[in-house]
Amino acid sequence: MTTYVIQFTYVAAAALFILSLKWLGHPTTARRGVRVGELGMALAIVGTLLHTEIVSYQWILVGFVLGSAIGLPLAVFMPMTHVPQRTALSHAFGALAAALVGTSEYYLRSGELSTFTMAVLSVEVILGFLTFTGSLMAFGKLQDLVPSRPIVYPGQNAVNLSLLAAAVGCAVYLVRNPGSSALFPVVAGLSLLFGVLLLIPIGGADMPTVIALLNSYAGLSAAAMGFLLDNNLLIVAGALDGSSGFILSVIMCRAMNRSFTNVLFGGFGQVRVAAGAVEQRSARSATAEDAAAILEAASSVIIIPGYGMAVAQAQHKVRELYDALTRRGVDVKFAIHPVAGRMPGHMNVLLAEADIPYDRLVEMEEINPEFPRADVSLVIGANDVTNPAARHDKASPIYGMPILDVDKARTVMVIKRSMSPGFAGIDNELYYMEKTMMLFGDAKHFVGELVKEMTGARLGA
């Protein structure tokens, strides 16, 4: 009877995971997707705890307490601006768990492993350990614990590929000779080192794609663990995680006009010296009073959020600005670039936290045709995704990357702390256009000043 209950909970959990992924694909159903995914995971845990093979629940209880002690504070106190770092840590912990399970199974069953079992165990361990250290490096770059710029050196690709080839070669030998236990630590060590070296040449601008790719690796490691433990739910969940992460990586690369090889082995994000001609240009700055007067007279405004908004935690002030404009009858929309921020959906999450209506968030392909009809484009902390150089400058590292056509609006306003370049390390041509007004300052403070100016004008009227 217990076996049937376990299988039922596993089937139900797998179905809920699939529905969760489907509903997470749209902002209006995302909350439902999260809840359904949580329910599916709860069923998966319950089904696993019902297994008769469990000898003692003591260490399971210890793990539950320790995991909760770490996970609950992370969930409660982690600000929404740090969601990318939180996601990277989740990948690291999940991948480490899979790798450690593979390690324990190898030493427990080394004399009994079949060729197929040893093969999936090797995949699990290699992907698990490299994802663990790679995710920690991604966390460090996002948290500024390690340099976010690419760290490159001559022959780097050859070194990385040689390490990976050595790890795979040792794993193949283990598949043919499972009893050669002295090689197993070598495979683990090379995988851990490869994860570090894989991430150091990758710059911050590619981090959204890298996070999605690490998610795929962690999922594939979990799927391999499912084959190792003969657990169908792990196979299904891992395959869903791995495939969705891979598909998301492809989507992100297309959004940036990048290839996987460029992301993994390129130097995108490295700071470059701007051309002298660009440095001689002057930008036109304006005050909050000037900007508020133009916004009040507008009938259509498109707001473009970026990482600067996230860093300043300005999303709630942006909501106040949205309310102030809509009360005046202004049509306000938010243009969402797929790689704005530090991870896919970063801007959507922040704006949803501020209760911006979902139907006001418009993806790049749909919003771009509306810019020529907009009175104002208000850029808040976005840089490379608004740079017109991506259309025509073949020497630019972002050439060919689809961008938001903010420069086609009648007036462009940019809230930014300074004229410093974004992660691509190049000047933004948008800042030097005649129609552009630079609004220098912290995004949260400046948007607050705009709201004060508009509210004061309304009260005065």
C-alpha torsion 340→342→344→345, nearest 10: -70
**H runs (alpha helix) in 256-399:** 260-265, 276-279, 288-297, 307-312, 315-327, 346-353, 364-367, 389-392
CA distances from 262 to 253, 266, 272, 359, 389 (A): 9, 4, 17, 35, 19
Distance CA 430, CA 53 (A): 64
Q: Cβ–Cβ contacts within 10 Å for residue 365, how many?
A: 9
Cross-strand pairs, 437:
413
Distance CA 81, CA 75 (A): 13
Distance CA 233, CA 336 (A): 35
| Closest listed residue to residue 378, CA positions, set 402, 403, 347, 411 | 411
Confirm if 340 and 346 have CB atoms less than 8 A apart.
Answer: yes
Confirm if 258 and 203 have CB atoms less than 8 A apart.
Answer: no
Confirm if 413 and 377 have CB atoms less than 8 A apart.
Answer: yes
Annotated active-site residue 144? The verdict is no
Distance CA 342, CA 354 (A): 18
Distance CA 118, CA 105 (A): 10
The residue type found at 385 is V
| Closest listed residue to residue 139, CA positions, set 185, 189, 101, 96 | 96
Confirm if 399 and 387 have CB atoms less than 8 A apart.
Answer: no
Distance CA 14, CA 339 (A): 30
Distance CA 365, CA 390 (A): 16
Confirm if 195 and 130 have CB atoms less than 8 A apart.
Answer: yes
Distance separating the N- and C-terminal Cα atoms of the chain: 75
Q: Tell me the residue ranges of DSSP E strands in 328-455.
A: 331-336, 361-363, 376-380, 411-416, 436-440
Q: In angstroms, how far is CA 17 from the centroid of its own chain?
A: 20
Catalytic residue among 230, 290, 355, 384: 384
User: Could you list the active site residues?
Assistant: 384
